[in-house]
Amino acid sequence: MVKLYALSTCPWCKKVKQLLNEKEIPYECVDVDLLKGAEQEQALVEVDRLTGKRAFPVTVINGKAIQGYRADEILEAARNEK
């Protein structure tokens, strides 16, 4: 399963969503900025744990975190996920 941590207003996050949609890769998206309270804090802690910083987007595939819009790396990891 592919999980995407994103911000609803982030252009790079939108590009990752578009890439996953175009390639018909199923994913779960967490728009961190739309969460509230403890739920948002929990998502931010998870992003910190995965990448060591609060930068978006973060695409998690098979436990591997890919920070930023790295189309080739995302597609390669997704291909190996199946």
Tell me the CA distances in angstroms from 45 to 23, 41, 75, one per residue in order.
29, 6, 26
Could you give the number of structural domains in the chain? Answer: 1
The pTM score is: 0.94
Give me the CATH number covering residue 28: 3.40.30.10
State which residues form the domain around 21. 2-81
Is the model's pLDDT at 81 over the cut of 80? no
Is the model's pLDDT at 82 over the cut of 80? no
Question: How much of the chain exceeds pLDDT 90, in percent?
Answer: 90
Alpha helices in the chain (DSSP H): 11-22, 37-51, 71-81
Q: Which residue has the higher pLDDT, 33 or 63?
A: 33
